[in-house]
Amino acid sequence: MTAEIIFENFPNLSEDQKRRFEKLEELYKDWNQKINVVSRKDIDELYLRHVLHSLGIAKFIQFKDGSTILDVGTGGGFPGIPLAIFFPEVQFTLVDSIGKKIKVVNEVVEGLELTNVTTINARVEEIPGQFDFIVSRAVAAMPTFVHWIKGKIKKESKHDIRNGILYLKGGDLHEELKNYRTAEIFDLTNYFKEDFFETKKMVYLPLKYKG
């Protein structure tokens, strides 16, 4: 599977964006041989299972220029790196507590010459600052995740929707979201036709500012 699947789903990409998306596979294959951060099966379907999946968030919201986004538990750089390519005027901070994963992310960011990405090797509770949105791919159940990111959402919203969490996850989410009445669940099949997305969802949870 090639980067064409990205171009088909997002036909208005610039040449710079296309070039960076095309380069992703080569960079990940090279670094994954040295430091395993993506399973072999997933590497073969990198554009479907990781890149396009990450860009489900871009189907839901257009981050405004100058926004700040925190990617918690970024792993090999998802969803942060694809989103950083897609939104070049938005600042992304990618956080993971596992050093070898951040090493790979750093190398990919450097290889892509992305200037809108900062990486931090730490637990999210330890990092300073506040952000417009916090993104992640299924690193913990929502109550745990909300606890981790307490106090990290900016007070002022510059988007049409309130600042909060954008969370990519699969399966039945009703149990873990039952205490979050404002949470909205979106099926990624609304955006993508590929079978892979049949059980995949994105959760939007607006959060009140806590100073």
Q: Is the CB of residue 40 less than 8 Å from the CB of residue 104?
A: no
From first CA to last CA, the distance across the chain in angstroms is 45
H helix and E strand count, the chain:
10, 7
Structure tokens at 129: 């600052």
Determine if residue 124 is labeled as part of a ligand binding site: yes
Please choose, from the candidates 42, 37, 53, 92, the residue with its C-alpha nearest in 3D space to the C-alpha of residue 70.
92
Crossing angle of the two packed helices 15-34 and 99-112, in degrees rounded to 10: 140
DSSP-derived secondary structure letter, 50: I
Our measurement of the distance from residue 134's CA atom to the centroid of its chain's CA atoms, rounded to an integer in Å, reads 9
Strand 164-170 versus strand 200-206 pairing type: antiparallel
175 marked among binding-site residues:
no
Question: Does 78 appear as a known binding residue?
Answer: yes
> Is 125 flagged in the annotation as binding?
yes
The binding site for S-adenosyl-L-methionine comprises 73, 78, 124-125, 137
Q: Which residues are annotated as a binding site?
A: 73, 78, 124-125, 137
